[in-house]
Amino acid sequence: MAVMTAPPSSKAAIVDVPFAHKELVARLSPGGRYIDAQSDVDSPWVPFGDNAAIKHLAFDVRQNLFSNILWVKGPGVIGTHLHRGTITMVCLEGSVRYLEYDWVASPGGLILEVPGESHTLVTEHPQGTKLFGWMQGPIDFFDEHGVLVDTADVWWYINHYETYCRDNGIAINPKLYL
Ligand SMILES: [Fe+2]
């Protein structure tokens, strides 16, 4: 096999790929999918306190993974929390920083967080921030005295989404469940 310098891309055509386990994939894979995040068609904005909302995009109960967009609608804070899983986030709009670190995230920037880190999210941007996240739970949230308030894992996020849908007559979207 020759060394590839770039993927073959001379023709826009579907190629029948000789993969040995196609039938297993067809039978067992949850399948790839597209979730629209620009509208509320696939998933509504669910209030997350007075100044924020979450648009849930995916839940994977096998790996305690959840994906969403966190929208802090103006200058505000998401209180100190401790991660017990790995977090991957991209700043989509506005700007955001953590009191514990010396950087400020701006649109297009990647935020990585690792288990064992605790931090306090602040946006001082007049429009707040939107953050896309691919996140692994659990996340422990603490009050100002360091007392554990609640632990948010994939089940917490599913309940957050489903409760809002139930209360507002919105159909649960099966596409969000991997
Ligand atoms: Fe965090």
Which pLDDT tens digits describe the chain residue by residue (178 residues)? 789 999 888 889 999 999 999 999 999 999 999 999 999 999 999 999 999 999 999 999 999 999 999 999 999 999 999 999 999 999 999 999 999 999 999 999 999 999 999 999 999 999 999 999 999 999 999 999 999 999 999 999 999 999 999 999 999 999 999 9
Q: Which two three-digit tokens encode residue 98? A: 């953590």
CB 46 within 8 A of CB 53: yes
Dihedral over alpha carbons 143, 52, 155, 165 (to 10 degrees): 140
Q: How far is the CA of 19 from the centre of ligand 1 (A)?
A: 39
Q: How far is the CA of 80 from the centre of ligand 1 (A)?
A: 8
Give me the sign of the Cα torsion angle 87, 46, 33, 107. Answer: negative
Q: How far is the CA of 7 from the centre of ligand 1 (A)?
A: 36
95 CB neighbour count, 10 Å cutoff: 18
Report the distance separating Cα 21 and Cα 78, nearest Å: 45
Q: How far is the CA of 163 from the centre of ligand 1 (A)?
A: 23
Q: How far is the CA of 103 from the centre of ligand 1 (A)?
A: 14
pTM of the model: 0.94
Q: Which domains does the chain have, with CATH numbers?
A: 48-169 (2.60.120.10)
Q: How far is the CA of 44 from the centre of ligand 1 (A)?
A: 22
Report the distance separating Cα 83 and Cα 92, nearest Å: 21
Residue with tokens 């649109």: 107
Spell 136-172 as b/e; 16+ CB within 10 A means b.
Answer: bbbbbbbeeeeeeeeebbbebbbebbbebbeeeeeee
Q: How far is the CA of 81 from the centre of ligand 1 (A)?
A: 6
Report the distance separating Cα 90 and Cα 105, nearest Å: 9
